[in-house]
Amino acid sequence: MTRRARDKRRPITRRGPVAARGPVAARGPVAARGLVSAARRLAADDRELAAGAAPSDRARSSLRGSTTAAVLALLATTAVWGSTFVVVKDAVARMPVMPFLAWRFGIATVAMLVLRPRAVARLGPAGRRDGALLGLALGAGYVLQTYGLQSTPATVSGFVTGMFVVFTPLLAGLLLHRRVGASAWFAVVVATVGLALLSLHGIALGGGVTLTLLCAVAFAFHIVGLGEWSASYDPYGLAVVQLATVAVGCSIVSAFTGLSVPPDAGVWGALALTALAATAVAFVVQTWAQSLLSATRAAVIMIMEPVFAAVFGAVFAGDSLSGRSLAGGALVLVAMLLVEAGPLSMTSRARDQVR
C-alpha cells in the first residue's frame, strides 16, 4: 500500500479550538455574521426603495421572519409608550418634570449597565459619539413632551407627538438629500389642519401643544439618525449611551432647579414602569428593530402610539373626545398614512417586478 493510500485511510483528527467546538458550533459565528450582514443589506435596500431606487435581490427571503418580528416588537413598544401618557401626566403633577426625567433615564441606564457592564466600551469612539447625538435628540423630545403634558390632555399630546411620522421623511429629505414627493407635502397640510382642530384656541396654538409639536420634531431627528446608524453598532450598547446622555442632561438641569426625590409610592411606580418597560426595554427594542427597518417604515409602524394614547387616556384618565377632537385626530392619522403611501406603494411595485 502506498503512503498516499495509507493517508486516505487514516482518520482525520481535529485539534485545538475548532475541534473542541465541533462542526456545528464552528459554523455559529459565521452564520451570525451572515445574518447581521444580510440585515444591514436589507435596511439599505429599504432606504433605497424609499428614495425611489430599484431593490437589489439580496437576503430578503431569509430575513422575512426577522423583519416580521421587528415589526411586531416595535408595535408592542408603541403600546407601552402610549400607556405612559396618562402615567407621566399624573406623576409630573406631584413631582417636577426635570427631576422625574433624570430619575427615569438614570434608573434605566443603571439597570442596563448592571446586565451588560461592558456594552458601552465595546461600541468604540464612533459608536459612543453617534449614541450621544441620538441621546441629545431623544432628551430634547422627552423634555418638551413632558413639559407639554402639564397643560395638555394626554389624548391631544399623544396625537401631536405622533406627527413625528410627518417630520421624519421631511428631515430625511433635508438632511440626507432624499426626494420628498408631493404626497408628503400634502400630508403636512392635512396634519396642520388636524392639529388646528385639535388644539387651536383663538388665533394662537396652546403653549402645551406647541411644546409637544417641537417634541415631535426632536423625535423625528432621533428616528432618522437611528435609522442611519443602528445597523452599524450593537443595539444594546447604543441604547445605553442614548439613555445615559438623556439622564446626564436632565440631571445637570435639575441641579440648578433642585433634584428632588419621588414624593410617594405612586410616583415611584410611575418611574418603575417608565424606566424599565418604556425606556430600558423599549429603546433596546427600537434600536434593534431599526437595524432591520428603514426610518420611514419604523415611523409608519409607530403611528399607532397616538392611537394607544387616546385609548388609555379615554379609559383610564377620563379624557373627553369631542367631535372636533375626533376629526382633528383622524386628520393627523390620515396625514401620517399619506406621508408614507407613496414610498410604500413604490416598494410594493418594485418587489413585484423582482418576483
Helical segments of 51-123, H only: 64-92, 97-115
Mean confidence (pLDDT) of the chain? 76
pLDDT of 316 over the 90 cut: no
Whole-number pLDDT of residue 284: 93
Minimum mean pLDDT range among 40-49, 283-292, 329-338, 339-348 = 40-49
CA gap 114, 184 in Å, rounded: 43
Sequence-distant (≥ 6) Cβ neighbours of residue 263 within 8 angstroms:
94, 95
Residues in the chain: 355
Q: How confident is the model at residue 128 (pLDDT cuts 50, 70, 90)?
A: very high
Q: Which residue has the higher pLDDT, 180 or 141?
A: 141
Whole-number pLDDT of residue 342: 53
pLDDT of 245 over the 90 cut: yes
Number of H helices, E strands in the chain: 15, 2
Q: Do 166 and 188 touch, CB atoms closer than 8 A? A: yes
The per-residue b/e assignment along 197-212, b for 16 or more CB within 10 angstroms, e otherwise, is: bbbeeeeebbebbbbb
Phi and psi angles of residue 204, each rounded to the nearest 5 degrees, phi first = -140, 150
Provide the whole-model pTM.
Answer: 0.69
79: nearest Cα among 24, 158, 138: 158
CA gap 212, 146 in Å, rounded: 8
> Helix or strand or coil: residue 82?
helix
CA gap 178, 344 in Å, rounded: 15
| 200 beta partners | 205
C-alpha cell at 301: 409602524
Whole-number pLDDT of residue 315: 80
331: nearest Cα among 214, 152, 80, 162: 162
C-alpha cell at 186: 400634502
Q: Where are the beta strands (DSSP E) in the chain?
A: 200-201, 204-205
CA gap 305, 267 in Å, rounded: 23
C-alpha cell at 49: 426603495
How far, in Å, are 51, 59, 228, 292, 350 from residue 56 at the CA level? 14, 9, 18, 15, 10
CA gap 335, 189 in Å, rounded: 8
| Number of Cα atoms under 13 Å in the Cβ half of residue 169 | 31
Q: Do 113 and 337 touch, CB atoms closer than 8 A? A: no
Structural domain boundaries of the chain?
59-354
CA gap 209, 333 in Å, rounded: 17
Q: Which residue has the higher pLDDT, 32 or 5?
A: 5
Section 170-189 average pLDDT: 78
DSSP state of 153: -
Sequence-distant (≥ 6) Cβ neighbours of residue 136 within 8 angstroms:
245, 249
Residue indicated by cell numbers 385626530: 329
pLDDT of 154 over the 80 cut: no
| pLDDT tens readout for residues 226-242 | 988 888 899 999 999 99
Instruction: Annotate 16-41 with DSSP letters as a single string.
Output: SHHHHHHHHHHHHHHHHHHHHHHHHH
Q: How confident is the model at residue 21 (pLDDT cuts 50, 70, 90)?
A: very low
Q: Do 282 and 236 touch, CB atoms closer than 8 A? A: no
Whole-number pLDDT of residue 187: 79
| 201 beta partners | 204
Whole-number pLDDT of residue 121: 92
Phi-psi group of 71: left, alpha or beta (phi > 0 → left; psi -120 to 50 → alpha; rest → beta) = alpha
